Structure 1
Amino acid sequence: MNSFITTPLHKERLASLDILRGFDLFMLVFFQPVFVAFAKHWSDIPLFSFLLNQFNHVSWEGFATWDLVMPLFLFMVGAAMPFSFDKYIHGNDKSAIYKKIARRFVILFILGMVVQGNLLSLDLKEIRIYTNTLQAIAVGYLIAAMLILHLSKRWQIIITLLLLITYWGLLTFLGDFTPDGNFAEKVDRAVLGRVRDGVYYTEDGLWHFSNRYRYTWVLTSLVFGVTTMMGVFAGQIMKSGKDKLNNSKLLLAVGAALLLSGWLLSFQTPIIKQIWTASMTLWSGGLCFLLMGLFYYLVDYKDWSKGLNWLKIYGMNSIIAYTLGMVVNFRSIANSLLWGLEKYVGDYYGAILTFANFTILFLILNLMYRMRVFVKI
């Protein structure tokens, strides 16, 4: 247990990284579910209708605010790696870091199966192997770790570009960009088969692929690695550059360049988050760089962290926040205490339970933060 739970590190931490990670997790396990629960009652109001669309995934082509949460999660993992890997890069004996990488990969993959892979169903028909953000992080982390440990920065950039170009080429020349015709979909169906998410069983015991599930994972792992490496490059800028103002400007400039590249490529390769197209990778990477540059400028350069430090409650226990938020239903506790309100609030009762659910999660995370208990993998 002690290998997973630690007190805060004594070395200096990059505050903007913890706060931006916390912002991403706060959106995921508090703001979005609570906002949607209440705002759906006001969907006839144009403003709330617009915001509801922004806090739901786009059905296929296009990009909404909510589509940034997963890429930002991977990006943040990469951004921390130049700091956490620093002492291992130049050492001759890398056995310790290899063990850390393997352990983290396995734990994240298992947690992904707990969160979304139906592992706790204890039913082989229900278990899904590769289907969750935590597993995408595990794969992106593994790819980025190997590049950081064994290649120079120049070759890291070259291999990252090759991964992106390879994925672009496979999707462009071996299929199309429709839900049924894209090559990533074909690979997932061939490799994962019945353990792919979205599979369902009919009464005759036969399994089938659902037409409603279109997320891809196996071949898409290439660009999970690219997104994580974009975070690595951002981390390298913040770590190696002594002038924090110039670091901020460079992060923002790279972000703008990636946005432009993603927009230009979208004329040939549509921005589709579900299959993580190359244009989506560039577009989301640009937004991640812009957010990192903004938070780095405000927090680490201007030292304007007042009013933002509470986000560390989420950011410094991000895996716990995500796992508890996705797996544990605290509504039963809330319902036990608040059931008498239902006759007074009517249809809003479900939204109130949602608010209570994620408030309880926040209180748990806040208690852990105050006790200086941070779960590391």
Structure 2
Amino acid sequence: MEKTSYKRLESLDVLRGFDLFCLILCEATFYLLRDAINAPWFNKVMWNFSHVSWEGFSPWDLIMPLFMFMAGVSIPFALSRYKTESNKWLVYRRIGKRVLLLWIFGMMCQGNLLALDPNHIYLYSNTLQSIAMGYLIAAVLFLNFRTSTQVVVTVILLLAYWAAMQFITVDGFGGGDYTRDGNLAEWVDRVVLGRFRHFAEIENGVVLFSKGYRYTWVLSSLNFGVTVLTGLFAGEILKSGLSPKKKYQYLFGIGMIMVILGWLWNFQMPVIKHIWTSSMVLVSSGYCFLLMGLFYYWIDYKGYFKNNTWLKVFGMNSIVAYMLADVANFRCIGASLFHGLEQYLGAYYPVLIGLSNFIVIYIILWILYKHKIFLKV
């Protein structure tokens, strides 16, 4: 923990807070509200707060890429002073520490590390770990190469993932197959992670993979790096000497181009978040550029909502917020306070308990914010 006093990019803090606010509040209440309302019209609304089953992209699918994108935006602000140093051992140690901590936190959130059951410890299965991999790739490139080289490497990573998925065939997987059970990234995860893949079980010495779990991580790490790199490029624009007007114009322009290119690529390589296809990276990063441009325009350029404390409470302690939402459970507090209302609220009672959990998390984050205590990983 440490107290910060340096000037921060206000729009980045608010956008990060918006991302975490949506994640925590929606997961705590909206799905419970859907069950309580149980109406076709609300199910249509819930499309905006649900992941697509395979191909395509919904607003909710942007939550994870946006989190990764913003990790990239912060890199030029945090690491620029290290670029000219001949001995980068200290900064590499800092990067390694961050990657390790994010990896452990990811296992705590989704890898069942806290269950202390060796049969259910999974190595690579969480958003924080994808951020760790993407951050490692982007940070090393930022410290050692010019922006032009970073762009070239970004394109190479996108095309390398596409070429592997399109042309490599192993054991009936790959060769341009982008289905749930036939894509190359699925095969790589099964081979590399084996029984340490999320939801994998061992029966009679044989690893059985969950039929419903088709998120991939190992080969997809190439494009995790690209997602964070696109954020890095946005950060370099925001940190540059360009006029504020030029900055948001560049963000909007690049965002539109990426979205168009991504959806055009969708005709050949489907936009699939589960396996982090290259077309999905362009689409999602394009939307992230547009959101970053919008928030920069309103907050840093126009000065509106600059003191938007309720979102900065989430944004300036984003890892704490994510960990509290995934690891801690404060519903017992709501259940103790509102137990007598269950008979009156019926199906809406779980919504109240979920909302109380969200409020407790917010209070914890608000206390940290008011005391200027921010967790740095």
Give the TM-score taking structure 2 as reference length. 0.96
Q: CA deviation at 1:162?
A: 0.3
User: How many angstroms does 1:237 deviate by?
Assistant: 0.4
Q: Is the 8 A contact 1:241 1:247 kept in 2?
A: no
CA distance in 1, matches of 2:263, 2:205: 45
- Which residue identity does 1:281 align to in structure 2? V
Aligned partner of 1:26 in structure 2 is: 21
**Distance of 2:306 and 2:354 partners within structure 1:** 28
**Residue number among 105, 115, 130 corresponding to 2:109 in the alignment:** 115
Q: Which residue of 1 aligns with 2:121?
A: 127
8 Å Cα contact 1:128-1:195 kept in structure 2? yes
Cα distance, 1:307 vs structure 2: 6.6
Are 1:39 and 2:34 an aligned pair? yes
Contact 1:198 1:212 in 2 (8 A): no
Is 2:54 the counterpart of 1:76? no
- 5 Å-filtered alignment, 1:331-370, equals 331-370=331-370
Equivalent position of 1:254 in the other structure: 254
1:299 aligns with 299
Question: 1:236-281: CA deviations, max 9, x gaps?
Answer: 0010133011100100000000000001000000110000111100
Contact 1:317/1:374 (<8 A) preserved: yes
Give the Cα–Cα distance (whole angstroms) in 1 for the partners of residues 147 and 132 of structure 2: 22
Whether contact under 8 Å (1:30, 1:359) holds in the other structure is no
Q: Determine the C-alpha separation between the residues in 2 that align with 1:277 and 1:86.
A: 30
Deviation (angstroms), 1:44: 1.6
Query: Does residue 6 of structure 1 match 2:2?
Result: yes
Alpha-carbon distance between aligned partners in 2 of 1:62 and 1:68, rounded to the nearest angstrom: 12
* Structure 1 residues 1-377: aligned runs within 5 Å: 5-8=1-4, 10-46=5-41, 48-174=42-168, 175=174, 176-202=177-203, 204=204, 206-306=206-306, 308-377=308-377
- Residue 67 of structure 1, CA deviation: 0.5
More displaced 10-residue stretch of structure 1: 259-268 or 165-174: 165-174
Aligned 8 A contact 1:40 1:52 in 2: no
Task: Give the letter aligned to residue 40 of structure 1.
Answer: D
Q: Equivalent residue of 2:303, what SS?
A: coil
Kept in 1, the 8 Å contact 2:26–2:49? The answer is no
How far did residue 36 of structure 1 move?
2.3
1:38 Cα offset (Å): 1.3
Equivalent-residue separation in structure 1 for 2:52 and 2:40 (angstroms): 20
Worse overlay, 119-128 or 300-309: 300-309
RMSD (CA atoms): 1.2
Tell me the alpha carbon deviations over residues 162-192 of structure 1, each in whole angstroms, 9 at most, x when there is no partner: 0010001111112110011100000000000
Does the CA contact (< 8 Å) of 1:113 and 1:119 recur in 2? yes
Distance in 2 separating the partners of 1:269 and 1:50: 27
SS at 1:269 equivalent: coil
Contact 2:259/2:287 (CA < 8 Å) preserved in 1? yes
Q: TM-score, normalised by structure 1?
A: 0.96
Structure 2 unaligned blocks of 5 or more? 169-173
Give the CA deviation at 1:31. 3.2
Structure 1 runs, 4 residues or longer, greater than 4 Å off: none
Shift of 1:142: 0.3
Q: Distance in 2 between matches of 1:183 and 1:296?
A: 39
Structure 1, residues 92-147: CA drift from partner, whole Å, max 9, x if none?
Answer: 22111111001001000000000000001111111000000000010001000110
Would the aligned equivalents of 2:76 and 2:239 in 1 still touch at CA under 8 Å? yes
Residue 309 of structure 1: CA displacement?
3.3
Aligned-partner Cα distance in 2 for 1:306–1:6? 23
- Give the Cα separation in 1 of the matches to 2:214 and 2:57: 15
1:352 is paired with a residue of what secondary structure?
helix
- Contact 1:39-1:52 within 8 A present in 2 as well: yes
Letter in 2 for 1:61: E
Please state how far the C-alpha of 1:40 moved relative to its aligned partner. 3.0
Alignment match, 2:171: none
- State the secondary structure of the residue aligned to 1:241: coil
Question: Which residues of structure 1 form unaligned runs of 5+?
Answer: none
Paired AA for residue 16 in structure 2? R
User: Distance between the aligned counterparts of 1:284 and 1:40, measured in 2?
Assistant: 29
8 Å CA contact 2:335, 2:353 repeated in 1: yes
